[in-house]
Structure 1
């Protein structure tokens, strides 16, 4: 039986690295991201099903769930950094914060809800990608960190409510990605961990299936 994974934010960074790692291990993949051209290239490379779109769009979430009627792993990796340069909370634009919450918290929950029947059937797993900004008081990271803290608690409760599933909220540490470069600059981001290394650790996590909980890969 072939395992199937649904990965959001799969056109670059950690999502792309994890897709490549799982494909290497023989997984069947359903991938999504907003960038159609980039996603199409990844799908061709990995012989994957690709559905470009915005995870905050309910119609797109429904399409994704229909594309994965048999599902072993959901990876909520798609995320938004929010306003840049990163502003202090005293001046964080509230409308922008609402958009950030929609992308980083509401959208993952919507996709979990949509795919739960398939995940339950296969006693599958959910990986929600979080951040040390969810627990650390880093100046400028309040908006992003608050959304990741909410995602962590959502994951924690999901694990309690769905004991037959494995639910991990994973802090991957700093990675050399476009998002980190947008936050701290290209030069500093270049010294961070290669996403491929993190993806290998994530694949090992899924294969070993430890108890649900928070996982730090730093």
Structure 2
């Protein structure tokens, strides 16, 4: 019997790659995102019998509820939730950051994620399904300008671990995936500058959306008695950040 994955942020990057990987693996996919034209292109590519699309902003709760209520029968039983949709807005330090950007990140990365998860939990429990939440190495390693983005990803990691505890005995698996540098349009959106994005990835080999999609697929298709609690991964060319040291005498 074909299983169904509900993937948010499926219009680009990791979410798009994950939708393709799960369909390739024989799953049905509910692909969601804000850009309907990209979702339709994905459905045309992979087939309407394998992909159902739902265009909405995950932070819009009524739209999310309506999309779930409208799922057609072949896609109505969700076996896997992939909470991939997220925002990283701006690179300014906290004292110079835009408060609207902070609030939007919290609304998307935290509030929308927990709302959708809570909405689908009864079904996931009934079907002994799984949840994969996309966190980040920013949850563990702070960096200048990472302020609220890193805080939201730390929340995602801790929420995932809390879900594991709450869902003990239900058979539902929960995993926090925590990637380092992945080259997608995500960085361009964050910096607002293609040149800055290109410089960020220059002269190194970052991970790709396909790399993370393969990891998500592996986690989701492990034997049902195995749970990966948290999985941190980086490209070989990236390692742990060094400590910041201010040396006033050298200014």
Same fold (TM over 0.5): yes
Is 2:54 the counterpart of 1:54?
no
Contact conserved, 1:7 with 1:32, CA < 8 A, in 2? yes
RMSD (Å) for aligned C-alpha atoms: 1.5
Shift of 1:180: 2.2
More helix by share: 1
Are 2:10 and 1:7 equivalent residues in the alignment?
no
Query: Which residues of 2 match residues 109-120 of structure 1 at below 5 A?
Result: 109-120=114-125
Q: Secondary structure at the match of 1:112?
A: helix
- TM-fit CA distance, 1:202: 1.6
What secondary structure sits across from 1:21 in the alignment?
Answer: helix
- Superposed CA offset, 1:2-32 (max 9, x none): 1000000001100010111110011001010
- Decide whether aligned partners of structure 1 residues 188 and 91 sit closer, same or farther in structure 2, where only a CA change above 3 A counts: closer
- 1:186 Cα shift? 2.1
In structure 2, how many angstroms separate the alpha carbons of the residues matched to 1:77 and 1:144? 14
8 Å contact from structure 1 (residues 65, 111) kept in 2: no
Paired with 1:174 and 1:29, the residues of 2 have a C-alpha distance of 26
Moved more, 89-98 or 160-169: 89-98
Kindly indicate whether the alpha-carbon contact (under 8 Å) linking 1:168 and 1:212 is maintained by their aligned counterparts in 2: yes
The structural deviation recorded for 1:173 is 2.2
Runs of 4+ in 1 over 4 A off after TM superposition: none
TM-score (norm: length of structure 2): 0.81
**Aligned equivalents of 2:13, 2:200: Cα separation in 1:** 16
Q: Which has the larger radius of gyration?
A: 2
* 2:249 alignment counterpart: none
How many angstroms apart in 2 are the aligned matches of 1:93 and 1:196?
Answer: 32
Residue in 2 aligned with 1:144? 149
Moved more, 37-46 or 188-197: 188-197
Q: Determine the C-alpha separation between the residues in 2 that align with 1:180 and 1:192.
A: 12
In the alignment, structure 1 residue 166 sits paired with structure 2 residue 173: yes
Question: In the alignment, is residue 72 of structure 1 matched against residue 79 of structure 2?
Answer: yes
Task: Report the Cα offset of residue 63 of structure 1.
Answer: 2.7
Find the aligned partners of 2:134 and 2:41 in 1 and give their Cα distance.
Answer: 23
Matches of 1:160 and 1:64, distance apart in 2: 29
- Structure 2 unaligned runs (5+)? 235-251
Q: What's the TM-score once normalised by structure 1's chain length?
A: 0.93
Q: Which 5+ residue runs of structure 1 have no aligned equivalent?
A: none
